[in-house]
Amino acid sequence: MAHPVGEAFGHGRPTLVTYLMAGCPDRAVSLASVRAAAASGADLIELGVPYGDPLADGPTIVEAARTARAAAPGGFGLAETLVLAAELATDPEMPPIVLMTYLNPMLRFGLDLLAREAAGAGVAGFIVPDLPVDSPFASRWTRAAHAEGLSTVFLAAPTSTDERLAAVALASTGFIYCVSSVGVTGERATLSKELPSLVGRVRAARGAATTPIAVGFGISTPEQAAQVAAIADGVVVGSLIVKQQGDPERVRELVAALAVAVHEAT
């Protein structure tokens, strides 16, 4: 039985979302690293699906995807990630799992079939960076996802108009993913000075709705995570963790530090 995405935001404090790449550096170690993150304070697991053309991802995640795909004899993609997610979801202490993937693998799989298979695997939702909220594929996917109880998280970018932000806020279920800066994922030395303004615009765009807002892209230290947690409902950390993914104990230590920073932010 999948834990719904909303459960991750129901603790009365900021939420820590940890991104890890499925299958990297191999299947067994990726399982161990996800379990380490869950055990040390992650409230929501964002499980990356290895893909050969990851448009929103920076070099760390691109390399992790390449490693995962090369490590498995028959390759490692969406189908293999669903099997891995199903194994993780058997643990009653595992937080909700959302998959981060791209539209092409979803279309090849079949949207209706994917929604059914994902729900059966214990997946709680999807983040699809190259799925615009006004795309005809978006309406097809959200119908299929809704029928299976899956959340769909859309991205709110710094370049989005207020009208676009309103559409993203309306369509997003589970949470709204607020992209901290223009560009791809990856660690950055400093946070954008415009981030508080962007979060405020997203809050205004969602109106009376209470859909949580989580901020990701470029968060590189526990200190930065705490800064973001002070202005948003959740913090997404990816590349920083993926760099350590080959060592589950190091993942455990890093996520524990991030959890303290995020959960105690004021």
Ordered by start, the domain boundaries in the chain are 12-154+219-263
Q: Determine the pLDDT at residue 1.
A: 53
Q: What is the 3-state secondary structure (H, E, C) of the chain?
A: CCCCHHHHHCCCCCEEEEEEECCCCCHHHHHHHHHHHHHCCCCEEEEECCCCCCCCCCHHHHHHHHHHHHHCCCCCCHHHHHHHHHHHHCCCCCCCEEEECCHHHHHHHCHHHHHHHHHHCCCCEEECCCCCCCCHHHHHHHHHHHHCCCEEECEECCCCCHHHHHHHHHHCCCCEEEECCCCCCCCCCCCCCCHHHHHHHHHHHHCCCCCCEEEECCCCCHHHHHHHHCCCCEEEECHHHHCCCCCHHHHHHHHHHHHHHHHCCC
| pLDDT of 213 over the 70 cut | yes
Residue of 43, 57, 117, 233 with catalytic role: 57
Give yes or no for residue 192 having a pLDDT over 50: yes
The region of weakest confidence among 30-34, 54-58, 105-109, 151-155 is: 54-58
What's the topology of domain 12-154+219-263?
TIM Barrel (3.20.20)
Q: Is 57 a catalytic residue?
A: yes
Does residue 264 have an active-site annotation? Answer: no
Q: Taking the complete model, does pTM exceed 0.85, yes or no?
A: yes
Is 60 exceeded by the pLDDT of residue 188? Answer: no
Q: Average pLDDT, stretch 39-67?
A: 91
Q: Alpha-carbon dihedral of residues 214, 220, 222, 227, nearest 10 degrees?
A: -50
Mean pLDDT of 182-198: 68
Say what the pLDDT of residue 187 is.
45
pLDDT of residue 39: 98
Question: Catalytic pick from 43, 46, 80, 117?
Answer: 46
Query: What local confidence, expressed as pLDDT, does residue 190 receive?
Result: 64
The pLDDT value recorded for residue 53 is: 78
Q: How far apart are CA 134 and CA 137, in angstroms?
A: 8
Question: Tens of pLDDT along 223-236?
Answer: 999 999 999 999 99
